[in-house]
């Protein structure tokens, strides 16, 4: 059975801003920019003329979900310095993003290893996922990098986008900078990274270089300016503030109209993608009314681990499966179903004896039907999991348990319609006075 902590992990490392930035810009913006170019040069239509209503009538419908992977290349353009998978829901107008840590351990399947061997390429079977692009040769780098992500998440990817970090400053400079209220003085120098930050607090328009300094600043070793008290947590707040300001400007219809050439130029210089103009033009209709508030970012569930002196990130297969279902499969519009009258089984996955019977009494007192109780043989988890057959079930059971998560898994619920596996943190009921 699958498990997933209820906590949604927001992206939180230094380079991670670039992951979110480029993913948001190129997962959604790449469609827009390529489409703008197509309208300009192939159809002779200016974006300002292309209103949402007009486009809805003349353009073919888009699928409910469009899955895209974004690879950010390092300075020598060999390794994928960040990997982000996004899915755009055309019905809800929401963009969900999953960040895949660059150290995630993966193994190349036998058929790909055999194909590489024929070309005289002999990579190791296991490696970090960011190494796949560099170890399989130029002939296969994009194809195998995409397939490795598909294998990891068990999904199909419609498009890929490979982007150069230089696009960050280029885009911001092209649209005339970003107006933002810098929260404090910031000073930092790191010649090895070619990073020089010197910002004063207060409202101002940041160019590309200054904006990069803002989102990367965390501390000042020299003591000239104040470091963030909470380091990465404070930096995330600033990054989120910047991203909202950036997307409010960069993806507005007026900005796209005025800077269409710059967007097209950025795509030509820094982006390698299989998104064609006829594909991209379909998505321009979603530009009107699109908001950064429609974007949610997650991190691949897992745990860092040192193996033979090297740092890896081992993803949790069960939690990953649950997250992928929630993000790529789950229907948010599914009607809610009552659990009353449905067969429920409660399994004790905690350490307290008699916990399942205790919870059985609680649910029966509330009018639910509990068909059986027992002990779980599954791996113990902190939080209680409620397994159901389809979307919309089990929601009315959540208030009875501590930090519980509903998981749709038809295979796990063949005998009983609802299976509840109690977590180790699930408390016993307080005796009634």
Q: Three-class SS of residue 24?
A: helix
Give the per-residue pLDDT at 232: 46
Higher pLDDT, 16 or 102: 102
Q: Using alpha carbons, list the distances in angstroms from residue 123 to 68, 78, 89.
A: 26, 15, 37
Would you call 146 helix, strand, or coil by DSSP? helix
- Residue 100 in contact with residue 83, Cβ under 8 Å? yes
Element of type H or E holding 356: helix 355-365
Of residues 156 and 276, which shows the higher confidence score?
Answer: 156
β pairing state of 344-348 and 418-422: parallel
**Chain segment 49-73, per-residue pLDDT in tens:** 444 444 444 455 678 888 988 887 7
Measured on CA atoms in the order 195, 200, 201, 202, is the torsion positive or negative? Answer: negative
> Which has the closest alpha carbon to 371: 415, 306, 332, 313?
415
pLDDT tens track for 181-229? 998 888 888 776 667 888 899 999 999 889 878 877 767 666 666 665 5
pLDDT digit string, tens, across residues 92-149: 888 888 878 888 999 999 999 999 999 999 999 999 998 998 888 889 999 999 999 9
Residues 6+ apart with CB under 8 A from 326: 4
Neighbours of 223 (CB within 10 A): 9
Residue-level pLDDT at 11: 35
Nearest to 251 by CA among 180, 182, 171: 171
* Tens of pLDDT, residues 333-377: 788 899 999 999 999 998 899 999 999 999 999 999 999 999 998
Distance, in Å, from the CA atom of 276 to the CA atom of 37, rounded to the nearest integer, reads 11
Q: What is the mean pLDDT of the chain?
A: 77
Does position 408 have pLDDT exceeding 90, yes or no? no
pLDDT of residue 144: 93
pLDDT average, residue stretch 135-164: 89
| DSSP-assigned states of every residue in 319-346 | HHHHHHIIIII--TTPPP---TTS-EEE
Distances (CA, A) of 336 to 34, 339, 341, 370, 420: 40, 10, 15, 20, 18
Residue 265: predicted pLDDT? 65
pLDDT tens, residue by residue, 22-31: 444 545 555 5
- Within 8 A by CB and 6+ apart from 392, the residues are 334, 335, 336, 337
What mean pLDDT do residues 418-423 have? 94
Question: What does the buried/exposed string (b/e) look like for 150-176 if buried means 16 or more CB atoms within 10 Å of the residue's CB?
Answer: eebbebebbbbbbbbbebbebbbebbe
Which of 43-47, 385-389, 401-405: highest mean pLDDT? 385-389
d(CA 236, CA 215): 8
Alpha carbons within 13 A on the beta-carbon side of 175: 28
Structure tokens at 214: 């803002």
What one-character DSSP code corresponds to residue 134? H
Gyration radius of the chain over CA positions: 25
Stretch 396-416: mean pLDDT, rounded?
Answer: 84
User: Structure pTM?
Assistant: 0.63
């Amino acid at each position: 059975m699958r498990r997933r902590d209820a906590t949604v992990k927001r992206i939180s490392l230094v380079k991670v801003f670039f992951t979110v930035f480029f993913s948001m810009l190129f997962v959604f913006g790449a469609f827009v920019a390529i489409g703008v170019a197509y309208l300009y040069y192939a159809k002779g239509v200016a974006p300002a003329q292309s209103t949402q209503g007009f486009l809805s009538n003349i353009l073919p419908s888009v699928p409910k979900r469009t899955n895209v992977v974004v690879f950010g290349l390092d300075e020598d353009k060999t390794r994928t310095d960040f990997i982000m998978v996004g899915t755009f829901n055309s019905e809800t107008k929401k963009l969900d993003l999953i960040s895949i840590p660059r150290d995630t351990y993966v193994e190349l399947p036998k058929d790909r290893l055999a194909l590489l061997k024929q070309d005289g390429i002999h990579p190791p079977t296991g490696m970090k996922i960011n190494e796949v692009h560099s170890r399989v040769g130029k002939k296969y780098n994009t194809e195998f990098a995409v397939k490795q992500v598909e294998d990891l998440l068990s999904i199909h990817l419609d498009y890929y986008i490979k982007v150069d970090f230089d696009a960050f400053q280029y885009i911001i400079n092209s649209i005339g900078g970003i107006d933002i209220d810098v929260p404090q003085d910031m000073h930092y120098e790191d010649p090895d990274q070619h990073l020089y930050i010197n910002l004063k607090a207060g409202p101002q328009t940041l160019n590309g270089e200054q904006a990069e300094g803002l989102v990367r600043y965390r501390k000042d070793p020299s003591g000239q300016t104040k470091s963030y008290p909470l380091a990465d947590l404070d930096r995330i707040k600033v990054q989120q503030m910047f991203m909202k300001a950036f997307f409010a400007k960069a993806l507005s219809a007026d900005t796209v109209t005025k800077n269409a050439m710059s967007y097209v130029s950025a795509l030509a210089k820094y982006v390698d993608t299989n998104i064609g103009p006829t594909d991209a033009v379909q998505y321009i209709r979603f530009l009107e009314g699109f908001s950064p508030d429609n974007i949610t970012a997650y991190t691949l569930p897992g745990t860092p681990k040192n193996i033979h002196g090297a740092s890896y990130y081992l993803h949790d297969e069960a939690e990953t499966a649950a997250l992928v279902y929630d993000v790529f499969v789950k229907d948010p519009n599914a009607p809610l179903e009552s659990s009353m009258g449905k067969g429920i089984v409660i399994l004790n996955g905690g350490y307290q004896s008699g916990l399942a019977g205790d919870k059985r009494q609680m649910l029966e007192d509330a009018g639910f039907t509990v068909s059986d109780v027992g002990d779980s043989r599954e791996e113990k988890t902190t939080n209680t999991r409620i397994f159901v057959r389809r979307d919309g079930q089990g929601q009315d059971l959540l208030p009875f348990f501590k930090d519980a998560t509903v998981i749709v898994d038809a295979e796990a619920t063949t005998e009983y319609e609802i299976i509840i596996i109690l977590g180790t943190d699930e408390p016993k009921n307080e005796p009634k006075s």
